[in-house]
Protein backbone atom coordinates (compact mmCIF):
# COMPACT_ATOMS: atom_id res chain seq x y z
CA UNK A 1 0.00 0.00 0.00
CA UNK A 2 1.27 3.45 -0.91
CA UNK A 3 2.12 5.95 1.81
CA UNK A 4 0.82 9.44 1.02
CA UNK A 5 2.89 12.27 2.49
CA UNK A 6 1.93 15.92 2.51
CA UNK A 7 4.94 18.24 2.23
CA UNK A 8 4.30 21.82 3.29
CA UNK A 9 6.07 24.81 4.73
CA UNK A 10 6.41 28.56 4.49
CA UNK A 11 7.35 30.21 1.23
CA UNK A 12 11.11 29.90 0.67
CA UNK A 13 11.49 27.03 3.14
CA UNK A 14 12.63 24.48 0.58
CA UNK A 15 9.50 22.32 0.28
CA UNK A 16 9.85 22.10 -3.52
CA UNK A 17 13.48 21.06 -3.12
CA UNK A 18 12.39 18.45 -0.57
CA UNK A 19 9.80 17.13 -3.02
CA UNK A 20 12.43 16.97 -5.78
CA UNK A 21 14.77 15.01 -3.49
CA UNK A 22 11.95 12.61 -2.59
CA UNK A 23 11.30 12.14 -6.31
CA UNK A 24 14.96 11.13 -6.69
CA UNK A 25 14.28 8.52 -3.99
CA UNK A 26 11.41 7.09 -6.06
CA UNK A 27 8.35 8.96 -4.83
CA UNK A 28 5.55 10.13 -7.11
CA UNK A 29 5.08 13.89 -6.75
CA UNK A 30 1.87 15.89 -6.97
CA UNK A 31 2.47 19.64 -7.09
CA UNK A 32 -0.59 21.52 -5.79
CA UNK A 33 0.69 24.76 -7.38
CA UNK A 34 0.79 23.05 -10.79
CA UNK A 35 -2.76 21.78 -10.23
CA UNK A 36 -3.81 25.32 -9.26
CA UNK A 37 -2.36 26.68 -12.51
CA UNK A 38 -4.20 24.02 -14.52
CA UNK A 39 -7.61 24.69 -12.96
CA UNK A 40 -7.22 28.43 -13.65
CA UNK A 41 -6.80 27.96 -17.39
CA UNK A 42 -9.61 29.20 -19.64
CA UNK A 43 -12.26 26.52 -19.99
CA UNK A 44 -11.41 24.88 -16.67
CA UNK A 45 -13.98 24.90 -13.84
CA UNK A 46 -12.27 27.45 -11.58
CA UNK A 47 -11.64 29.96 -14.38
CA UNK A 48 -15.22 31.24 -14.66
CA UNK A 49 -15.54 31.32 -10.87
CA UNK A 50 -12.35 33.41 -10.55
CA UNK A 51 -13.50 35.81 -13.25
CA UNK A 52 -16.89 36.20 -11.56
CA UNK A 53 -15.39 36.67 -8.09
CA UNK A 54 -12.51 39.03 -8.95
CA UNK A 55 -13.54 40.65 -12.23
CA UNK A 56 -11.92 41.29 -15.57
CA UNK A 57 -9.07 43.30 -14.00
CA UNK A 58 -7.49 39.95 -13.08
CA UNK A 59 -7.67 38.53 -16.61
CA UNK A 60 -4.76 39.00 -19.04
CA UNK A 61 -5.27 40.17 -22.64
CA UNK A 62 -4.72 36.57 -23.82
CA UNK A 63 -7.62 35.45 -21.60
CA UNK A 64 -5.56 33.79 -18.86
CA UNK A 65 -5.76 34.65 -15.17
CA UNK A 66 -3.21 37.30 -14.13
CA UNK A 67 -1.67 35.14 -11.40
CA UNK A 68 0.93 37.78 -10.46
CA UNK A 69 -1.69 40.48 -9.92
CA UNK A 70 -4.01 38.06 -8.12
CA UNK A 71 -1.08 36.94 -5.96
CA UNK A 72 -0.38 40.52 -4.87
CA UNK A 73 -4.04 40.95 -3.94
CA UNK A 74 -4.38 37.78 -1.90
CA UNK A 75 -1.19 38.37 0.06
CA UNK A 76 -2.47 41.86 0.99
CA UNK A 77 -6.17 41.07 1.53
CA UNK A 78 -7.20 38.17 3.78
CA UNK A 79 -10.83 38.22 2.59
CA UNK A 80 -9.69 37.94 -1.03
CA UNK A 81 -7.33 35.10 -0.09
CA UNK A 82 -10.18 33.21 1.59
CA UNK A 83 -12.44 33.79 -1.41
CA UNK A 84 -9.77 32.50 -3.81
CA UNK A 85 -9.08 29.43 -1.64
CA UNK A 86 -12.80 28.64 -1.40
CA UNK A 87 -12.91 28.56 -5.20
CA UNK A 88 -9.69 26.71 -5.95
CA UNK A 89 -9.19 24.23 -3.11
CA UNK A 90 -12.12 21.91 -3.93
CA UNK A 91 -10.91 21.64 -7.53
CA UNK A 92 -7.30 21.03 -6.45
CA UNK A 93 -8.48 18.38 -3.94
CA UNK A 94 -10.42 16.58 -6.67
CA UNK A 95 -7.44 16.53 -9.04
CA UNK A 96 -5.01 15.46 -6.27
CA UNK A 97 -7.32 12.58 -5.27
CA UNK A 98 -7.42 11.38 -8.88
CA UNK A 99 -3.62 11.46 -9.14
CA UNK A 100 -3.16 9.66 -5.82
CA UNK A 101 -5.48 6.92 -7.05
CA UNK A 102 -3.53 6.64 -10.31
CA UNK A 103 -0.16 6.49 -8.54
CA UNK A 104 -1.48 3.81 -6.17
CA UNK A 105 -2.49 1.76 -9.19
CA UNK A 106 1.06 2.25 -10.50
CA UNK A 107 2.35 0.78 -7.18
CA UNK A 108 4.38 3.74 -5.96
CA UNK A 109 5.52 3.09 -2.39
CA UNK A 110 5.42 6.82 -1.60
CA UNK A 111 3.23 9.56 -3.02
CA UNK A 112 4.00 13.15 -2.07
CA UNK A 113 1.52 16.01 -2.25
CA UNK A 114 3.46 19.28 -2.14
CA UNK A 115 1.15 22.08 -0.99
CA UNK A 116 2.13 25.31 0.73
CA UNK A 117 -1.19 25.71 2.59
CA UNK A 118 -1.67 22.10 3.61
CA UNK A 119 -1.80 22.80 7.34
CA UNK A 120 -4.12 25.77 6.90
CA UNK A 121 -6.55 23.67 4.88
CA UNK A 122 -7.82 20.60 6.71
CA UNK A 123 -9.82 19.73 3.60
CA UNK A 124 -6.74 17.98 2.18
CA UNK A 125 -5.89 15.94 5.27
CA UNK A 126 -8.21 13.08 4.28
CA UNK A 127 -5.83 12.32 1.40
CA UNK A 128 -2.73 11.96 3.60
CA UNK A 129 -1.08 9.46 5.92
CA UNK A 130 1.45 11.97 7.30
CA UNK A 131 2.29 15.67 7.06
CA UNK A 132 5.92 16.75 6.87
CA UNK A 133 6.70 20.41 7.53
CA UNK A 134 9.81 21.84 5.87
CA UNK A 135 10.83 25.10 7.50
CA UNK A 136 13.84 27.36 7.88
CA UNK A 137 15.01 30.33 9.90
CA UNK A 138 13.60 33.67 8.68
CA UNK A 139 17.00 34.92 7.53
CA UNK A 140 17.39 31.87 5.27
CA UNK A 141 13.87 32.34 3.88
CA UNK A 142 14.45 36.05 3.20
CA UNK A 143 17.74 35.31 1.41
CA UNK A 144 16.12 32.61 -0.74
CA UNK A 145 13.17 34.82 -1.67
CA UNK A 146 15.50 37.69 -2.58
CA UNK A 147 17.62 35.41 -4.78
CA UNK A 148 14.75 33.43 -6.31
CA UNK A 149 11.94 35.99 -6.66
CA UNK A 150 13.69 39.34 -6.20
CA UNK A 151 11.54 40.09 -3.14
CA UNK A 152 12.59 42.77 -0.69
CA UNK A 153 12.78 41.92 2.99
CA UNK A 154 9.47 43.75 3.54
CA UNK A 155 7.78 41.79 0.73
CA UNK A 156 9.15 38.51 2.11
CA UNK A 157 7.92 39.41 5.59
CA UNK A 158 4.45 40.20 4.21
CA UNK A 159 4.27 36.83 2.47
CA UNK A 160 5.36 35.02 5.63
CA UNK A 161 2.86 37.00 7.72
CA UNK A 162 0.06 35.84 5.41
CA UNK A 163 0.81 32.21 6.32
CA UNK A 164 0.23 30.26 9.52
CA UNK A 165 3.02 30.95 12.06
CA UNK A 166 5.80 28.34 12.02
CA UNK A 167 5.24 27.39 15.67
CA UNK A 168 1.59 26.59 14.99
CA UNK A 169 2.52 24.63 11.85
CA UNK A 170 5.02 22.56 13.83
CA UNK A 171 2.31 21.50 16.30
CA UNK A 172 0.15 20.14 13.46
CA UNK A 173 2.85 18.31 11.48
CA UNK A 174 3.90 14.70 12.01
CA UNK A 175 7.54 15.58 11.25
CA UNK A 176 9.38 18.92 11.20
CA UNK A 177 12.39 19.18 8.90
CA UNK A 178 14.63 22.22 9.45
CA UNK A 179 16.24 23.29 6.18
CA UNK A 180 18.95 25.77 7.17
CA UNK A 181 21.84 23.86 5.60
CA UNK A 182 22.97 22.29 2.37
CA UNK A 183 21.02 20.19 -0.11
CA UNK A 184 22.91 17.12 1.11
CA UNK A 185 21.87 17.83 4.71
CA UNK A 186 18.24 18.11 3.62
CA UNK A 187 18.53 14.86 1.64
CA UNK A 188 19.88 13.07 4.74
CA UNK A 189 17.02 14.37 6.91
CA UNK A 190 14.42 13.23 4.40
CA UNK A 191 16.06 9.82 4.06
CA UNK A 192 15.63 9.24 7.80
CA UNK A 193 11.85 9.65 7.53
CA UNK A 194 11.61 7.56 4.37
CA UNK A 195 13.48 4.48 5.51
**Tens digits of residue pLDDT in 67-79:** 989 988 988 898 9
In eight-state DSSP terms, residue 55 is -
pLDDT digits (tens, 9 = 90+) for 17-75: 999 999 999 999 999 999 999 999 999 989 999 999 999 999 999 999 999 899 889 88
R_g over Cα of the chain: 17
pLDDT digits (tens, 9 = 90+) for 92-135: 999 999 999 999 999 999 999 999 888 888 889 999 999 999 99
Pairing between strand 110-114 and 28-31?
A: parallel
Which stretches within the chain are classed as H helix? Answer: 15-24, 32-39, 45-54, 67-76, 78-105, 138-149, 153-161, 166-172, 183-194
Burial of 16 (0-12, 13-18, 19+ CB in 10 A): middle
> Of 132, 109, 119, 111, which Cα lies nearest the Cα of 31?
111
In eight-state DSSP terms, residue 89 is H
Pairing between strand 175-178 and 110-114?
A: unpaired
Number of domains forming the structure of the chain: 1
For residue 63, the enclosing domain spans 3-194
Burial of 23 (0-12, 13-18, 19+ CB in 10 A): middle
**In the structure, what pLDDT confidence band is assigned to residue 164 with cuts at 50, 70 and 90?**
confident
Which CATH number belongs to the domain containing residue 177 in this structure?
Answer: 3.40.50.300
Residue 6, pLDDT score? 96
Amino acid sequence: MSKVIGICGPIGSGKSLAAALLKEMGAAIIDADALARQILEPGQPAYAEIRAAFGGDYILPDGGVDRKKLGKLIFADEAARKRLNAITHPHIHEQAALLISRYREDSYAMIVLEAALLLENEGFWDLLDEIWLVTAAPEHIHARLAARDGLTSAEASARLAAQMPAEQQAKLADHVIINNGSIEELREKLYVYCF
